[in-house]
Amino acid sequence: MTPTASETAAHSPAFDTLSTLLHTRYSCRAFLPEPLPRGTIEAILATAQRTASWCNAQPWQLTIASGATLERLRSALQSHMTTAAPNPDLPWPREYRGVYQERRRECGWGLYEALGIAKGDREASARQAAQNFTMFGAPHVAIVTSDEALGVYGAVDCGAYVSNFMLAAHSLGVGSIAQAALASYPGVLREVLGIGNDRSIVCGISFGMADPAHPANHFRTTRADSASSVVWRD
């Protein structure tokens, strides 16, 4: 009996490899300081560039900061966050409600537990949140932007690109984390990195080699069963 296409795919080596990458990738929140070889970064970029996009527009652009530029960016962001309210190009969610709020809380509490931060310790949780603006010590950060005129569709395409970037990085043993927090202060990013006003800042991706000893990197989020995300209409 010839197997169906779905049965073949579910047991193919390519499927197994992709499934392993998806199941083992995690958001790295502590990095080693050593920079990656340029060739490793270029390999990640070349693979992520294959991302599908609306009308093949490929709207993503990355500005990658390392070394002295990254240090200037860290300093500027940490200074700005203490004196100014976030003002992202793309609006934050209006609210998290229902199961989405539950998942968000589970993620936060799980991270704080791994770090030994007690529930209700607002000072410690604020210190941890501020680590976003240090890029968790990563040697590189990529600021992801889209053409402003493309609106939400450009941002959706960038989201797919970010996912593929992180999977490609993980396949090479490189840690990464997507950070919406870095889009909080687009004026700082534009000033330090020379990003034009015609680009909407979507998010950042901090990346490098993970610090395996840091407790933040032992924390893992859960995933809902796929059945909770699908409605079948036969």
Extended strands (E) in 25-115: 61-66
Strand partners, 146: 200
pLDDT of residue 1: 45
Would you say 59 and 53 are in contact if contact means Cβ atoms under 8 Å apart? Answer: yes
How far CA 136 is from CA of 51, 62, 128, 155, 233, in Å, comes to 27, 19, 10, 24, 44
Distance of CA 40 to the CA centre of its chain: 18
Task: Read off the pTM.
Answer: 0.93
Would you say 89 and 196 are in contact if contact means Cβ atoms under 8 Å apart? Answer: no
pLDDT of residue 210: 98
Give, for all 234 residues of the chain, the pLDDT tens digit: 455 555 555 689 999 999 999 999 999 999 999 999 999 999 999 999 999 999 999 999 999 999 999 999 999 999 998 899 999 999 999 999 999 999 999 999 999 999 899 988 999 888 998 999 999 999 999 999 999 999 999 999 999 999 999 999 999 999 999 999 999 999 999 999 999 999 999 999 999 999 999 999 999 999 999 999 999 999
Strand partners, 140: 66, 207
Q: Which residue has the tokens 């993980």?
A: 170
pLDDT of residue 5: 55
Domains of the chain as residue ranges with CATH? 26-92+134-221 (3.40.109.10)
